[in-house]
Chains A and B, each alone.
Chain A
Amino acid sequence: MDTAAIGRRTKKEQRRLTLISMKQNKAAYVMMLPFMLFFIVFTIVPVVMSLPMGFTDFNMVQFPKYIGLSNFTTLFLADKIFIESIRVTLVFAIFTGPISYILCFLLAWLINELHPKLRTIFTLIFYAPSMANVYTVWKLIFSGDSHGYLNSFLLDLGLITSPIQWLTDGSYVLGVTIVVQMWISLGAGFLALRAGFQNIDRSQYEAGAIEGIKNRWQELIYITIPSMGPQLMFAAVMQIVSSFTAGTVSQNLVGFPSTDYKAHTIMSHAYDYGWVRYEMGYASAICMILFIAMYFMNKLISKLLSKYMD
């Protein structure tokens, strides 16, 4: 009885304190306002509206019809291509996720070891692919006849005797897609890491030198990485998103759908249902599964990186 009364009182107290704190921080709310206005209207509202769609049958013409979990049961029990797309996405994610993340970090670090003038040039060289929209070039490089750059190069060297159908042969399409995806994957995460390296206080290195740090590796492990937690986290999130939602590369490069669905990612599957067959309910269910997978990946990564965070 007594404890309940205390509980009530503290709750009331709590609310009062919150209100006071809100009044004190009025300026913060005002500064948040412009961003929040656009964020709520054009992101939060659409997201909330789209949440129930996965449980409906929605063809974009008629009003969505509630069908319970049937989309999800179909996906896992009857849709063989979906299961195949999970496999493809996982293979994809291993290469363009962790491997590309480590590559981003290593390159950002190595570039930082160079003279400042060279840094800009190398950063541009490695970042440029994610700005460029040159699928046509890759198509010509991997072109299936002997006019393709790669085929003509390999024929010249005598490594192959007849041109390889890089873009249509089922055993190559996934590999080709991964190469191109890796090529453009030094994107947002890479640039954020570069910025992080540039933000490190140089006197820390000087202090480190006095405290007995001998080489680049020790410097990296004892000084650089611990002070880059926030950027490491950002790059990780970006890498998770880009590797799990990959799909545009394969669509542009090896066609849609790819030969035998060999480069068919979960995102391509969602695209197929959403924008080709206009089954938005089903497509939303696919995206929801993808979102849940990414959410747990994100949780896992933040646990791993938590010791570097404030």
Chain B
Amino acid sequence: MATKEKVYGKHLKVSTKRAGYKIRGTVGIFIFLVLLGLFMVLPIYLAVVMSIKPVQELFVFPPKLYVIEPTLSNYTSMFRICSDLWVPFSRYVFNSVFVTVTVTVCQVVFSAMAAFCLAKIKFPGAKVMNSIIVISLLYQANVIYIMQYMVLAKLGMVDTWMALVFPSIASPMCLFLMRQSVSQIPDAMIEAAKVDGAGLFRTCWQIVMPNQKPAMMTVIIFAFQAAWNIQGGTLVFNESLKTLPTVVQQAASAGLARAGVAMAAAVFMLVPPIIIFMLAQRQVIETMAHSGIKD
């Protein structure tokens, strides 16, 4: 690559645009994506619309795609139902935030370090680990669920916050994604860091990861989304340990009669992941100037 750049250096200044870039094609792509995007958004749009529909509008015939008299009553009644429970609503919010932040941070930090080692360091056991990771991706979470419960019970973690957090920390999916991405970094870069006297830890966090923003942000999105939806299920019985998804679902689970409240709950739960998504994507776009990542 370096030699190529030298040869083409003069031309590069002349043509910085891509060969494939033609404005007409781009407009075509845009229109196609808008049409398909409309189909993708429609159900979510309907969820939002129905969450602000008053009850009398929910069951009019024919069903309308818009709302005439928007109201927040579905949201208020959702919060009312939630706060009527004997554990205060703020407790569920705290639990959810705690679980989500802990799981996301641990998942991202741990899998980034492990991914760097598995992708770039040749140590005994690396190959075996790599194939174990892929195989464990294929293994169904449902099957090991009961065994996980047994492990948690043996360790005395059932009905504690650890039962919510610990099983989700080591995510083979995040590790696999990071590993795939880190493997694209040229070895020369890691060699150079080594020559400059950087240890593995510093190489990972100061050299490799800053160049991995897209993958890093994607992993954060996945981790947050999964963690945000963690439900106690059978692992936690204590009401004061339960998280938002559990309680919001309880508020919404009364069939179609409470469709409006159910929609409000779904929209409410969707907001934080979307905010994280937007924040993460902005990070990716702002740092798209690649330097020092050439072969």
Known contacts: A50-B144, A209-B17. The answer to whether A131 contacts B273 by CB under 8 A is yes
In the complex, how many angstroms separate the beta carbon of A283 from the nearest chain B beta carbon? 8
In the complex, how many angstroms separate the beta carbon of A198 from the nearest chain B beta carbon? 4
In this complex, what residue of B is CB-closest to A233? B180
Asked if residues A198 and B12 are in contact (CB atoms below 8 Å), the reply is no
Asked if residues B50 and A46 are in contact (CB atoms below 8 Å), the reply is no
Asked if residues A43 and B200 are in contact (CB atoms below 8 Å), the reply is no
Q: How far is the CA of A140 from the CA of B45 in the complex (A)?
A: 13
Is B232 in contact with chain A by the CB < 8 A criterion? no
Residues of A within 8 A of B222 (CB): 188, 191
Interface residues on A, range: 35 or more
Known contacts: A125-B41, A231-B180. The answer to whether A110 contacts B266 by CB under 8 A is no
Is A95 in contact with chain B by the CB < 8 A criterion? no
Asked if residues B20 and A50 are in contact (CB atoms below 8 Å), the reply is no
Of the candidates A194, A206, A283, the one having the most CB atoms from chain B within 10 angstroms of its own CB is: A206
Of the candidates A35, A122, A140, the one having the most CB atoms from chain B within 10 angstroms of its own CB is: A35
Asked if residues B116 and A295 are in contact (CB atoms below 8 Å), the reply is no
Asked if residues B123 and A291 are in contact (CB atoms below 8 Å), the reply is no
Residues of A within 8 A of B139 (CB): 43, 47, 291
In this complex, what residue of A is CB-closest to B183? A230
In the complex, how many angstroms separate the beta carbon of B102 from the nearest chain A beta carbon? 12
Is A201 in contact with chain B by the CB < 8 A criterion? yes
Q: How far is the CA of A125 from the CA of B34 in the complex (A)?
A: 10
Interface residues on B, range: 35 or more
The proximity string for A residues 13-48 relative to B, scoring 1 for CB distances below 8 Å and 0 otherwise, is 000001001101101110110111111011111110
How many A-B residue pairs lie within 8 Å, measured between CB atoms? 313
Tell me if B's interface is mostly helix, strand, loop or mixed: helix
Asked if residues A198 and B214 are in contact (CB atoms below 8 Å), the reply is yes
Q: How far is the CA of A119 from the CA of B217 in the complex (A)?
A: 15
In this complex, what residue of A is CB-closest to B14? A210
Stretch at the interface among A67-75, A234-242, A254-262: A234-242
Per the 8 Å Cβ criterion, residues 6-45 of B in contact with A are 8, 11-12, 15-22, 25-26, 29-30, 32-33, 36-37, 40-41, 43-44
Residues of B within 8 A of A120 (CB): 278, 281-282, 285
Is A310 in contact with chain B by the CB < 8 A criterion? yes
In the complex, how many angstroms separate the beta carbon of B29 from the nearest chain A beta carbon? 5
Is B72 in contact with chain A by the CB < 8 A criterion? no
Of the candidates A39, A201, A290, the one having the most CB atoms from chain B within 10 angstroms of its own CB is: A39
Residues of B within 8 A of A117 (CB): 285
The proximity string for B residues 137-163 relative to A, scoring 1 for CB distances below 8 Å and 0 otherwise, is 111101110111011000100000000
Is A280 in contact with chain B by the CB < 8 A criterion? yes
Residues of A within 8 A of B176 (CB): 234, 237
Cross-chain pairs A/B with CB under 8 angstroms, 24 sampled: A27-B199, A31-B204, A32-B129, A37-B170, A38-B170, A43-B139, A43-B172, A44-B136, A49-B151, A110-B33, A118-B30, A120-B278, A123-B281, A124-B278, A128-B41, A140-B256, A147-B61, A147-B62, A199-B215, A209-B15, A213-B19, A284-B143, A291-B139, A295-B138
Interface residues of B (CB under 8 A from A): 1, 4-5, 8, 11-12, 15-22, 25-26, 29-30, 32-33, 36-37, 40-41, 43-44, 46-47, 50, 59, 61-63, 65, 106, 109-111, 113-114, 116-118, 121-124, 129, 132, 134-140, 142-144, 146-148, 150-151, 155, 166-167, 169-170, 172-173, 175-177, 180-181, 183-184, 199-201, 204, 212, 214-215, 217-218, 221-222, 225, 229, 256, 259, 262-263, 266, 269-270, 273-274, 277-278, 281-282, 284-285, 288, 290, 293-294
